[in-house]
Chain A
Amino acid sequence: MSLFANRIYSKTITSLPTLILFLVVILGLNFNIIYKNYDFIINLSYIIVFFWSLKKPEHLGYGLIFFAGIINDVVQSLPIGISSIDYLLLSVIGAFIRNRTIIYNLIYDWISFFIAILIVGSINYIILISIFKISIVYESLILGLFVTFLIYPIFFKIFVWIDNMVLVRENDKKNR
């Protein structure tokens, strides 16, 4: 592979978390599920932002998280800025846990993620209901957050695999 192609490949690989986040928000890849009368969403963007803010914040810039939030708001027709606040709060919680934790494990991350999405979901709900008067079915919101929490370990494994197999290998290549 030529030097230029190698550099492009390397750049793409290290930007993979950012690319995934932007694809999710632009294409609306959050899974929308209708069960009985409850319409709920599995918020993949929450998982992506929380995981990478917690593990490798250098691969997902805060500025890009902010822009992803703005795009998400336009695509989903929400008040512009609300998703940015959600994502940045998740980053704050992720950074806080990173600062206070020495050894990581899935269970600890999973519980932290649950607390984080409950906080973010509550703030999101309060802002949308009380300030913007957007009607949200509370049960749908809670159901969506709960299912997002349940599937976290699957994406945790996928992202750890991406981190180990691709990013670490790429860094090794650079160090050689």
Chain B
Amino acid sequence: MGRDDLVISARSIFLNKGNRQKFSLLTLIIVSLIVLSLEYFKTGPINQFRAVTKDAVSKTSYFISLPFLTLKNAYYGVSNLLKSNEENKQLKIINLNIEELKFENQFLKEENIRLNALIEEKRLFSDNYHITKILLDQESPYLRSIVINKGFKHDIKIGSAVRSGPYFIGKVVGVNYLTSRVLLINDLNSKIPIIIEPNGTSAIVSGNGSKFYGDIEYLPEKNQVEEGHIVYTSGADGIISSGIPIGKITIKNNKKFVKFFTDFDQIKYVKVYFKK
């Protein structure tokens, strides 16, 4: 290929708009580079514009994906219905003394409040939460995350804990005006300080991409952690409140994992905590 040929080809590719093209490739690549470089501005009007754009795209994507979501929910609805009969039989066998457990829980909570007051422990964490819908739950190789329908208009801040029912599922990593992104606990980048009860062993639970299990890091070599022990958030980071159940310990090939209580495929609504 001659040098002139190459120059003619390059000119034709980058500058010619071609049939039914409104923009040349060079123009669009330059625009993309400018848009990418704007990522450096984390405050000010550019950040606000980006937040509004993200809100608009998230909401539009949600409305477009509604028919597909309906199909997905119908599938899970039918499969849950098929399972429920079997579950019902099992629940009848297990003697669940819920009333007694409720009173015990109430007593322990009140005792905890009294003891905290005695040692003048300051309450760092908020009990205020919004129940919100999940707008998007696309899986990405880089992020296991969801987009929720609450943003900084609703006092959501980066780091806020997110629960599905009573269980911890992740924390807020990005806040827009009306929507926020939640990094799920099973994401590769997620590191959550935990406490394993009943022995009170501290460690870190780290995501590995699996929907069912999480890795446990920094577990002491001589630990008494056994299968079935319950994993809670420890609150050691000062952002996520302590005592939120995450999962239970399971041992596979002499390695300890956390088996999550939550089925990440079936989350529709979450609780997101906020401080005013």
Contacts and interface: CB of A to CB of B under 8 A. Distances in A.
Interface of A: 26-28, 32, 34, 37-41, 57-58, 61-63, 65-66, 69-71, 74-82, 84-85, 88-89, 91-92, 95-96, 99-100, 127-128, 132, 134-137, 140-141, 144
6 contacts: A32-B140, A34-B210, A38-B209, A61-B21, A62-B22, A76-B140
A64 to B, nearest CB: 9
B140 A80 contact: no
B188 A39 contact: yes
A12 to B, nearest CB: 16
A112 to B, nearest CB: 14
A28 B138 contact: yes
A22 B211 CA distance: 27
Nearest to A134: B142
Which of A74, A76, A136 has its CB near the most chain B CB atoms (within 10 A)? A74
Given A28-B139, A63-B23, A132-B39, A69 B32 contact: yes
Contacts of A128: 142
Given A92-B13, A95-B25, A77 B38 contact: no
A75 B25 contact: no
A65 to B, nearest CB: 8
A22 B36 CA distance: 20
B126 interface: no
The 8 tightest CB contacts between A and B, nearest first, are A28-B138, A81-B36, A39-B209, A81-B35, A74-B57, A84-B32, A32-B139, A76-B140
Interface string B41-70: 000000000100110011011001100100
B32 A85 contact: yes
A69 B136 CA distance: 17
Contacts of A134: 142
Contacts of B61: 26-27, 71, 74-75
Given A66-B32, A85-B36, A61 B20 contact: yes
B28 A79 contact: no
A62 B21 contact: yes
A88 B64 contact: no
Interface in B132-179: 136, 138-143, 145, 174
A143 B19 CA distance: 36
Contacts of B35: 70, 80-81, 84
Contacts of A66: 23, 28, 31-32
A33 B139 CA distance: 10
Nearest to B37: A81
Nearest to A128: B142
A46 to B, nearest CB: 13
B209 A37 contact: yes
Given A63-B22, A71-B57, A135-B188, A84 B28 contact: yes
B189 interface: yes
Nearest to B32: A84
Contacts of A99: 9, 12-13
A57 B38 contact: no
* A40, A66, A91, A134: residue with the most chain B Cβ atoms closer than 10 Å: A66
Nearest to B57: A74
Given A58-B19, A77-B142, A82-B36, 13 more contacts: A32-B140, A58-B21, A62-B24, A63-B22, A71-B61, A74-B53, A77-B174, A81-B32, A81-B33, A85-B36, A88-B32, A99-B12, A100-B1
Nearest to B13: A95
Contact of A75 (B53, B136, B208): B136
B29 A88 contact: yes
B19 A80 contact: no
Contacts of B24: 62
B75 interface: no
Contact of A85 (B18, B33, B189, B210): B33
